[in-house]
Amino acid sequence: MLAQAMVAEEGHQAGGPGNGSGDSDDRLRRRREAFAEMYDNQMPGIYRYLCYRVGNASLAEDITADVFEKALRHFDSYNREKAKPSTWLTAIARNTVTDYFRKSSRVEVVREDDAPEEASDSPGVEEQVARLQEVRQLKLGLSTLPQLDQDIISLKFGAEMNNREIARMLKVSESNVGTRLYRAVRRLRDAFEGWDSDTRG
């Protein structure tokens, strides 16, 4: 059904009968180039957003691949006038990560493979371990925030969206995004300071 729609749309875009195979090849090449350009420009942001959401690099890679496969399948129905590529792809990424959490019925944010490895004799390893512990604690702290705040932080720091874009995506007001962002970071800071003093003291 979708494939038919896609083919029909392609026929329409191609300008109907009379187009030679050269025109058709050109159009396919342009589409492929447009998709490749979108991938090159947007993939890092999508990946960073997913890293914040799932807190795990290999899982973020898997979901990034899912996101771009979906984008590939629906590229012909994507309307650039309705949404910027970053907005469209981030919406797909949000839905995909939500589906992932729903299907897996768990809110696993930090997996064991993120835990610091055992210390070795190499120089600077203590700092490395401390840094890994800090990162892990930050990820854990992030996972304790309400879903909406996690989304705001991930969209802001990962996808680098402005408050207006975040507001449109999350269907909240722009001022609400700013308020929640500040309060969420502050709450996380308080929690992190508590943890930090516990581990040091």
Which residues within the stretch 73-112 sit at the binding site for another protein (CB under 8 A)? Answer: 73-74, 77-79, 82-83, 87-88, 90-92, 94-95, 102
Please give the structure tokens belonging to residue 86. Answer: 């970053």
Tokens of 79: 């309307």
**Inter-CA distances, 140 with 61, 70, 114, 143, Å:** 19, 29, 11, 5
Interface residue with another protein among 129, 140, 148, 185 (CB under 8 A) is 185
The continuous run of DSSP H or E covering 154 comes out as none
**According to the binding rule CB under 8 A, does residue 12 interact with another protein?**
no
Instruction: Give me the residue label for tokens 């420009």.
Output: 41
Whether the CB-CB separation of 143 and 150 falls below 8 Å is answered with yes
Task: Select 129 or 185, whichever has its Cβ closest to another protein.
Answer: 185
Residue 152: other Cβ atoms inside 10 A: 28
Contact call for residue 195 and another protein (CB under 8 A): no
Residue 31, amino acid: R
2 lies in the site for another protein, by CB under 8 A: yes
Q: Does 115 help bind another protein (rule: CB under 8 A)? A: no
Q: How far apart are CA 108 and CA 162, in angstroms?
A: 27
Q: 18 vs 121, which CB is nearer to another protein?
A: 18
Site for another protein in 46-65 (CB under 8 A): 47-48, 51-52, 57, 60-61, 64-65
* Helix/strand/coil for 107: coil
- In this structure, are residues 133 and 116 in contact, taking their beta carbons and an 8 Å threshold? yes
From 32, 117, 144, 146, residue interacting with another protein (rule: CB under 8 A): 32
Of the candidate residues 162, 173, 194, 199, the single one contacting another protein (CB under 8 A): 162
Q: Does 35 bind another protein (CB under 8 A)?
A: yes
* Residue 194 touches another protein, criterion: CB under 8 A: no
